[in-house]
Amino acid sequence: MASLEIRIPQLGEGLHEARIVRFLKQPGDSVARDEPIYEMETDKAVMEIESPSAGVLRSWAAKEDDVLPIGAVVGLLDTEVAVEPAGDSDMRISLAEIPDESASMERDGRPAEPAAPAATVESPSVTALPDLLRNSHVPPRTRAHARERGVSDEELAQLASRSGGKLLPQAIDAYLLGRLSTPAATPPRVHTPPSAPAGRTTRELVDSELPSRQRTLNYRLQRSAQAVVPATLEVTVGWSGIETARAKIKLRGGDQHVAPTQFLLFTWCVAQAAKDHPAFRAALLNDTTIREYAHLHLGIAVARPGDELLLARIDDADTLGLEELARAAHEAIERARNGEDQTAEAMQLSLTNMAGAGVRLGIPVVVAPAVGTLFIGAPYDQAFPLPGGGVEFRRQANMVLTFDHRIVNGLGAARFLGDIRSRVEAMK
């Protein structure tokens, strides 16, 4: 029975890593040819990966939510059929089963001694490293990049042996991200310092595994940091109209659980403004192509216990009336509070509301492929001088928009904010 390594496949140019979403088969399960066996997420989409051969799944070498570099081993499959390695397949025969053809090449004009049968090898020998790195097309800049980041020659050789081509610095970064994102197999460790200075209390240091959802968020943030070119603008907006409108809604009575809050009144203004700003309904597919959606799919950041952050989603938000949007938002937010992450590739804009925490000003981050994230802070009283002397206080709030400069330029973002402000200040 042959043993096949299940590896993260290279499904497109520019992909360096992927996140394991979930396993569709468990160790001991029979697997049919072309049957989906696991799901993975890249910066393009979430997709099912199929098995090219029938067999029995022996084991998984990774965990759900792990972020791994392209080519990394995910699991092992036992099969009766010998499968030749293919360039675009997610299955690869173990390197230990592939004869070392370089051993039979001529050196200095003389044939080399025949190589001994291959044994199971965990990593290249130290003496073979220089030749392996050269033969695997590892450019000097990649070796320098690896050295700067503490990647050993042994690790570099392993990456080079499975790269199938020139190893670039981006592959080193993807490998390190995958290594850092792989949770340790050991339980949380408690370390007590051997001694503490006089007068100071010794404190225990506890190492624990990041929660699964936080690892997922970290993956998306790190992925976005490699692609997005962020820019940020801040403007103030008059808030008294929002407060007046909300007071009227409360006086009207009815079911306040689905009635528009101050934040949802603001959300509706944002959605309406997006009608006239197509760049904020768009996403960048690649360096040369931008996709504009007919309608706005809006995200709302929702905080959960333990400082967990999920996104609620309102589809076609710009087509909804105020009451419809409020009802859809309440339902989506409730699902997020119950643990449902509604993040999707087509969600172009997200809102984050920090008024409840008393935060007036903050700089949001953009998570690709969204074009922007809009922060709204807690309202406050600001003094304005009067023409005849003296001052008056007006209710204000800060809007901060971080946007992807690859899609929108500064003037376009400023006009979008100005349109939102006009709509908010026109409320009564």
Name the burial class of residue 177, with classes exposed (0-12), middle (13-18) and buried (19+) by CB atoms within 10 angstroms of its CB.
Answer: buried
Structure tokens given for 227: 């692609």
Question: What is the model's pLDDT at position 273?
Answer: 96
DSSP state of 112: P
Distance CA 377, CA 311 (A): 18
How many helices (H) and strands (E) the chain has is answered by 9, 22
Distance CA 294, CA 287 (A): 21
Phi, psi of 375 (to 5 degrees): -100, 140
Torsion angle, CA of 113/118/123/128, rounded to 10 degrees?
10
C-alpha 319, offset from chain centre: 28
Q: Choose which CATH entry (3.40.50.720, 2.40.50.100, 3.30.2290.10, 2.40.30.30) describes domain 2-97+123-181.
A: 2.40.50.100
Residue partners of 272: CB distance under 8 A and separation at least 6:
318, 423
Half-sphere exposure of 340 (CA within 13 A, CB side): 11
At 291 the three-state DSSP class reads: strand
Structure tokens given for 398: 């800060």
What residue segments make up the domains of the chain, in order of their start? Answer: 2-97+123-181, 229-425
Amino acid at 422: S
Amino acid at 270: V
Amino acid at 261: T
Structure tokens given for 390: 């003296």
Which CATH fold topology does 229-425 show?
Chloramphenicol Acetyltransferase (3.30.559)
Distance CA 358, CA 332 (A): 24
Its sign, for the CA torsion 24, 25, 27, 33, is: negative
CA separation (Å) from 276 to 240, 270, 348?
Answer: 25, 11, 15
Question: What is the model's pLDDT at position 12?
Answer: 63
Across the chain, which has 428 residues, the per-10-residue mean pLDDT values are: 82 73 90 87 76 86 85 86 45 36 39 41 45 58 73 77 70 68 46 52 70 74 78 95 92 80 95 95 82 92 87 93 93 90 82 90 86 94 90 94 93 96 94
Residue-by-residue DSSP string for 333-387: HHHHHTT-----TT--EEEEE-GGGT---------TT-SEEEEE---EEEEEE-T
Phi, psi of 82 (to 5 degrees): -75, 125
- Residue 313's H or E segment, with its range, is strand 308-314
307: left (phi over 0), alpha (psi -120 to 50) or beta: left
Strands 55-60 and 36-41: unpaired
- Residue 326's H or E segment, with its range, is helix 322-337
| Alpha-helical regions (H) of 124-239 | 129-135, 140-148, 153-161, 169-181, 212-227
Question: What is the model's pLDDT at position 163?
Answer: 65
Amino acid at 220: R
Amino acid at 264: L
Radius of gyration of the chain (CA): 28
378: left (phi over 0), alpha (psi -120 to 50) or beta: beta
- 36: β partners: 50
Distance CA 397, CA 384 (A): 14
Does the predicted model carry a pTM greater than 0.85?
A: no
